[in-house]
């Protein structure tokens, strides 16, 4: 396998995007969805409409209208080289490598330390697809295909399973018994029931699978999946 897949927590992290054209903007938007400490974009061009909107909305985003300078890398932990100037991108990649900073090279991925996957998020559920740079267009097609298979109901499904998991683990039963229940629920028709707004079916299913100690909580969990407002 060419790359090691991981999910990165951006809390407290300073991110730098050099070159805020079409590709840079996509990377900035992706970063800002994950709550970093700060995203700084550096580009000599005036900010585009998309960037101006982000600047108005996001307190943790700043834009510096000037070319890249080596000192930009002093505080950055995660860097994206997205300029249209191959020599500038190469220099960023080289310095990051020397300093041990994670760097995404948008025009020469083989010289960077990581690539981005195409992603679908449904609350805490993340589905990522990567072709390791072989064909981003294929990653995009597969992402769109999976988006229809795993719809918005998977956000509530994931939250429900997380709540049940916390409660079940607190009962202190054997992990073998717990695993059996988690696997049954995860493979059940819960997504269909949520999508079809079938609260009754959901109640029935949870009663049939969960131990009686948890039955008093089922109503509250279903309320969360089927809000009445």
Ligand X SMILES: C[C@@]1(CC(=O)O)c2cc3[nH]c(cc4nc(cc5[nH]c(cc(n2)[C@H]1CCC(=O)O)[C@@](C)(CC(=O)O)[C@@H]5CCC(=O)O)C(CC(=O)O)=C4CCC(=O)O)c(CCC(=O)O)c3CC(=O)O
Residues that bind ligand X (CB under 6 A): 26, 30, 104, 106-107, 109, 115-118, 130-137, 139-140, 143
Rounded least distance, CB 64 to ligand X, Å: 22
Which of 83, 154 has the CB closer to ligand NAI? Answer: 83
82-90, 162-170, 203-211, 213-221 -> range binding ligand NAI (CB under 6 A)? 82-90
Q: Are 92 and 81 in contact (CB under 8 A)?
A: yes
Nearer to ligand X, 144 or 173 (CB): 144
**50 versus 133: smaller Cβ distance to ligand X:** 133
CB of 204 vs ligand NAI, minimal distance in Å: 46
63 binds ligand NAI (CB under 6 A): no
Torsion angle of alpha carbons 64, 23, 59, 120, nearest 10°?
A: -170
Our finding on whether 43 is near ligand NAI (CB under 6 A) is yes
Which of 29, 64, 85, 90 is close enough to bind ligand NAI by CB under 6 A? 85
Instruction: Write down the least CB distance from residue 190 to ligand X, Å.
Output: 27
Cα-only R_g, the chain: 22
Q: Are residues 65 and 47 in contact, defined by beta-carbon separation less than 8 angstroms?
A: yes
With CB under 5 to 8 Å by kind, the binding choice for 96 among ligand X, ligand NAI, none is none
How many chain residues interact with ligand NAI (CB under 6 A)?
21
Identify the CA nearest to 46 among candidates 27, 62, 65, 29: 65
Give the shortest CB-98-to-ligand NAI separation in angstroms.
19
Minimal distance, residue 152 CB to ligand NAI, in Å: 26
Contacting residue, 13, 15, 20, 54, with ligand NAI by CB under 6 A: 20
Which position among 84, 113, 131, 178 is part of the footprint of ligand NAI (CB under 6 A)? 84
Which residues of the shown chain bind ligand NAI in the complex (CB under 6 A)?
18-24, 42-45, 67-68, 82-85, 88, 106-107, 136
């Amino acid at each position: 396998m060419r790359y090691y897949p991981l999910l990165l927590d951006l809390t407290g992290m300073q991110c730098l995007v050099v070159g805020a054209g079409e590709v840079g903007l996509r990377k900035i938007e992706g970063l800002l969805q994950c709550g970093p400490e700060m995203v700084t974009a550096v580009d000599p061009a005036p900010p585009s409409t998309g960037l101006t909107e982000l600047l108005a909305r996001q307190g943790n985003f700043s834009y510096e209208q000037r070319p890249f300078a080596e000192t930009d890398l002093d505080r950055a932990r995660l860097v994206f080289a997205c300029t249209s100037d191959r020599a500038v991108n190469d220099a960023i990649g080289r310095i990051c490598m020397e300093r041990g900073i994670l760097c995404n090279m948008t025009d020469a991925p083989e010289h960077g330390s990581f690539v981005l996957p195409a992603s679908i998020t449904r609350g805490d559920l993340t589905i990522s697809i990567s072709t390791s740079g072989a064909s981003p267009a294929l990653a995009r097609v597969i992402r769109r295909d999976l988006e229809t298979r795993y719809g918005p109901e998977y956000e509530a499904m994931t939250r429900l399973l997380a709540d049940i998991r916390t409660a079940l683990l607190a009962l202190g039963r054997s992990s073998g018994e717990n695993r059996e229940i988690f696997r049954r629920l995860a493979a059940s028709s819960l997504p269909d029931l949520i999508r079809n707004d079938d609260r009754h079916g959901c109640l029935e299913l949870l009663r049939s699978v969960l131990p009686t100690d948890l039955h008093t909580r089922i109503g509250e969990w279903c309320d969360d999946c089927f809000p009445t407002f």
